[in-house]
Amino acid sequence: MAQPNCLSLSIKGVVQGVGFRPFVYNLAKELSVRGFITNTSEGVSLTIEGENIGVFIERLRKDAPPLAKIQSIDILPCANAGFDDFSIRESRDSGSFTLVSPDVSVCADCCCELFDRVDRRFLYPFINCTNCGPRYSITRSVPYDRENTTMAVFTMCPQCEAEYRDPRDRRFHAQPNACGRCGPRMMLSVGKNEIQAAAPVSRAVTMLKEGMILAVKGLGGFHLVCDATNGGAVQRLRDRKRKNNKPFGLMAPDVAAARKFCHVTADEEALLLSGQRPIVLLKRLAQDSLEAVAPGNRCLGFMLPYVPLHYLLFYHPDETGRSTQMPHFDALVMTSGNISEEPIVIHNSDAEQRLAGMADAFLYHNRDIFMRVDDSVVRHAAASALSPSKTFFIRRSRGYVPDPVLLPGDGPDVLGCGADLKNTFTLTRGRYAIPSQHIGDMENIETLDFFEETLRNLKAVYRAEPVALAHDLHPGYLSTRWALAQEGIEKFGIQHHYAHIASVMAEKGLSEKVIGVSFDGTGYGDDGTLWGGEFLVADLDGFKRAGHLDYIPLPGGESAIREPWKTAVSYVRGAAGAEAMDYLRPTGLVEQFGSDTVDNVIRLCGQREFSPLSSGAGRLFDAVSALIGVCRKNTFEGEAAIALESLVLDELDDDYPVDVSFREMMGIDFSMTILGLVRDMRSGVSPAVMATKFHNTVASAVVTVVQKLSVVHNIRTAVLSGGVFQNACLTRMVMDGLLAGGMKVCVNEVVPCNDAGVSLGQAYIMRERLKAGKKAGT
């Protein structure tokens, strides 16, 4: 049958702000195809005529710009309109929605122009083109046109306008297009007093070389910046901002500079150079390398420059105008510009007020940020004999958000509110789940305001109107209290660890029963106790708790999380009973904290009102870290467990005894493990050997339980999730053990396995049940 020579195409996906219309225009010209293309609120719409429309559609799929992500192309025949040419028409609003592109790091072409003295954008900090630049962070609404972004206030000069209108130009329809004559500008100030400098960036570089701390406005918010090799500057920043040991993020000018401090594999190099430019956790070359940046941590988190301003901080000519071939710095600290535990600052006036006690000066600009986005953080796990290499998110934000998770079929709009730690929320729209950027810990009004601000923005951009929302069961969570206070919408509580498992199911499109291993620090159980070491048999209809780590008292409740040595005392008490003090003496805990204090903690363990029971796997890792003297106080969440993992040795297979109870509710008792650790301490075994044997023990116990449940329930798919599986050593050991037994193993790869992934699981459970006409329940 003859092919119609006039077709109407509706293309959905990430096709706005990624050079798609210019690509289509030039392809049409090349193939003598006539018609038009326009942005719509659903994607793009084309009408095409000509003899080569078959080849055109084939090339459309095959040669689309690298940033474009075509989800679907709907094709319908239509009547010939007799077009003379091909054109790009004004955008139209069809009342639906389209996917928004994440922000994209500056491209190589723009970098070349940035340092080309004869180019009109020489040293211009906002240079961009169709292939790079801000997207999500400046988008107010769709369609993605200049008037719907924060660039609307900047009127293009004639030269920029000519580039924007020229189909042969790299800036054809580049919405943030600008230059030094017509676009945003940089400013430098001390306090609220602007410094009149011809080259504010050059002056800022001089300040950094002098050891000053600067608040620098970037793509998604402010960074606090100092010379990472200046130990005094780094310590001042830590004293002013953190007052704990949490690592600072770092930026290197290139991969070679990062290699001065860290091992960088080929896969890690690819991540560093990717258009997303995440912070990549890299293994240090030496423990004392930049020690003040990440005290006691085996890894450093490096990223490369992703906006022109970052390159200028490393390579800007000095104040005399002399160019430099070598970077000014080997590494800069680039940590989020915020008061500890508050959202990243995005407004100039807020920065002057909120960051005044931390920054010596401010380098900022007058282009507004609409969507605040922190830097993303990832970790790459190398392949083993059985497990493929994988990249895991620690924090998913800039460069990746708002990329969606594709769900099975269309479904109702719903909202997953997430948990309180590392909060994100997830909206569903059509067949997509859209996880938000990192919101933060829901423990203050500023973070709640950020949650609501981002929710309003994403609902507007995606035109989502949730018919139901899901929340955590924990009655004390601010996210739960917020959810329950919403009026005129159905509300459902979803158990925390079930949501963790469902987040992986959403990523993989699973609906059948799986064996879920959900390991984290603490989550509210459906029986009102504190869960965290869970084995679930789960599908989208619900879950059965099939096993867990044995409960131990948390002496003092929350204080045991901050001071894991107390949890170590509780574990020894549980293992040794009346002889606990004798077993504790070789560990140094009695000597360090005093016999009276330790005895009080032992007695406190027996008082349930002050020592709630917990099955948390995270608490076990904390306890062992404290027991063997690695880290006895957490100055930030996960510090003790991170320090313990950093000691793990390769090629050591020894482990400790552990008691696995094969009953209807399977249990894992680590009492013998704890006593084995104490015996090794008495014998002078190194902490690294003990840490490795402990990891081997936990992995072996998990594999044993999952394999038993697999036989009992005839299930061959295992799902691993929860913050404990950020531990790459443990994850690899468990995966290898299960794969060796012929099981299919799924883990989080699109959202973090920590509490940031919970909202995706909540939304997926509720959406699929509502589709099936079922109550969401718990």
DSSP one-letter string for 200-217: HHHHHHHHHHTT--EEEE
Whole-number pLDDT of residue 112 = 96
DSSP one-letter string for 164-209: HH-TTSTTTT-TT---TTTS--EEEEETTEEE--S-HHHHHHHHHH
Tell me the C-alpha distance between 678 and 681, whole Å.
Answer: 5
Whole-number pLDDT of residue 55 = 94
The single residue listed with the structure tokens 């010379």 is 227
Comparison of pLDDT for 140 and 243, the residue scoring more? 140
Give helix then strand counts, H and E, for the chain.
Answer: 24, 30
Whole-number pLDDT of residue 214 = 98
Whole-number pLDDT of residue 320 = 64
Nearest Cα to Cα of residue 523 among 719, 252, 309, 755: 755
Rg, C-alpha atoms of the chain: 28
Give the pLDDT band (50/70/90) at residue 97: confident
∠89-93-96 over CA atoms, to 5°? 130
CA distances for 417 relative to 469, 496, 582, angstroms: 7, 12, 47
CA atoms within 13 A on the CB side of 34: 11
Tell me the C-alpha distance between 39 and 93, whole Å.
Answer: 8
CA distances for 427 relative to 200, 377, 452, angstroms: 41, 22, 13
Quickly count: other Cβ atoms within 10 Å of residue 669's Cβ: 17
- Residue 419, phi then psi, degrees to nearest 5: -105, -170
Give the pLDDT band (50/70/90) at residue 1: very low
Can you name the residues that pair with 270 across neighbouring β-strands? none
CA distances for 32 relative to 20, 50, 131, angstroms: 18, 7, 25
- Decide if pLDDT at 4 tops 70: no
Can you name the residues that pair with 305 across neighbouring β-strands? none
Tell me the C-alpha distance between 686 and 677, whole Å.
Answer: 11
Residue 92 DSSP one-character state: -
DSSP one-letter string for 412-444: --EEE---STTB--EEEEEEEEEEPPP-B-S-S
Q: Pairing between strand 332-336 and 86-88?
A: unpaired
pLDDT tens for residues 395-444? 999 999 999 999 998 999 999 999 999 999 999 999 999 999 999 999 99
Whole-number pLDDT of residue 59 = 95
Can you name the residues that pair with 171 across neighbouring β-strands? none
Q: Mean of the pLDDT values across residues 721-740?
A: 97
Whole-number pLDDT of residue 716 = 98
pLDDT tens for residues 467-499? 999 999 999 999 999 999 999 999 999 999 999
Q: Note if the bond before 402 is cis, omega within 30 degrees.
A: yes
Whole-number pLDDT of residue 312 = 97
Nearest Cα to Cα of residue 727 among 215, 108, 281: 281
The single residue listed with the structure tokens 């410094």 is 195
Instruction: Enter the tokens of residue 255.
Output: 């991969």
Helix H, strand E, coil C: the string for 34-67 is EEEEEECCCCEEEEEECCCHHHHHHHHHHCCCCC
Residue 497 DSSP one-character state: H
Range with the lowest mean pLDDT among 57-66, 95-104, 523-532, 742-751? 95-104
Mean pLDDT, the chain, integer: 94
- Decide if pLDDT at 3 tops 60: no
Can you state the angle between helices 20-30 and 53-62, rounded to 10 degrees?
140
The single residue listed with the structure tokens 């996917």 is 99
pLDDT tens for residues 276-290? 999 999 999 987 779
The single residue listed with the structure tokens 């008495």 is 682
Confirm if 767 and 411 have CB atoms less than 8 A apart: yes
Residue 106 DSSP one-character state: P
Alpha carbon 752 to its chain's center: 6
Instruction: Enter the tokens of residue 691.
Output: 């840490």
| CB-neighbour burial class of residue 339 (10 A; exposed 0-12, middle 13-18, buried 19+) | middle
Highest mean pLDDT out of 173-177, 239-243, 719-723: 719-723
- Decide if pLDDT at 778 tops 60: no
**Helix, strand, coil shares of the chain as percentages rounded to 5?**
35, 20, 45
Q: Mean of the pLDDT values across residues 546-559?
A: 96
> Percent of the chain having pLDDT more than 70?
98
Terminal C-alpha separation, the chain: 54
Give the pLDDT band (50/70/90) at residue 319: low
- Residue 364, phi then psi, degrees to nearest 5: -140, 175
Whole-number pLDDT of residue 66 = 83
Q: Mean of the pLDDT values across residues 14-32?
A: 90
Whole-number pLDDT of residue 384 = 82
Comparison of pLDDT for 204 and 91, the residue scoring more? 204
Tell me the C-alpha distance between 471 and 231, whole Å.
Answer: 44
Residue 30: CB partners within 8 Å, gap ≥ 6? none
Give the amino acid at 64: A
- Decide if pLDDT at 574 tops 90: yes
Confirm if 725 and 518 have CB atoms less than 8 A apart: no
Strand stretches in 495-635, DSSP E: 514-524, 530-539, 542-549, 552-553, 613-614
The single residue listed with the structure tokens 């934000």 is 397
pLDDT tens for residues 154-208? 999 999 999 999 988 999 889 999 999 999 999 999 977 788 777 899 999 999 9
Q: Mean of the pLDDT values across residues 232-237?
A: 96
Residue 48: CB partners within 8 Å, gap ≥ 6? 6, 7, 9, 28, 33, 34, 35, 56, 86
Q: Note if the bond before 404 is cis, omega within 30 degrees.
A: no
Whole-number pLDDT of residue 461 = 87
Q: Mean of the pLDDT values across residues 659-664?
A: 94
- Decide if pLDDT at 776 tops 80: no
Tell me the C-alpha distance between 86 and 80, whole Å.
Answer: 14
pLDDT tens for residues 667-693? 999 999 999 999 999 999 999 999 999
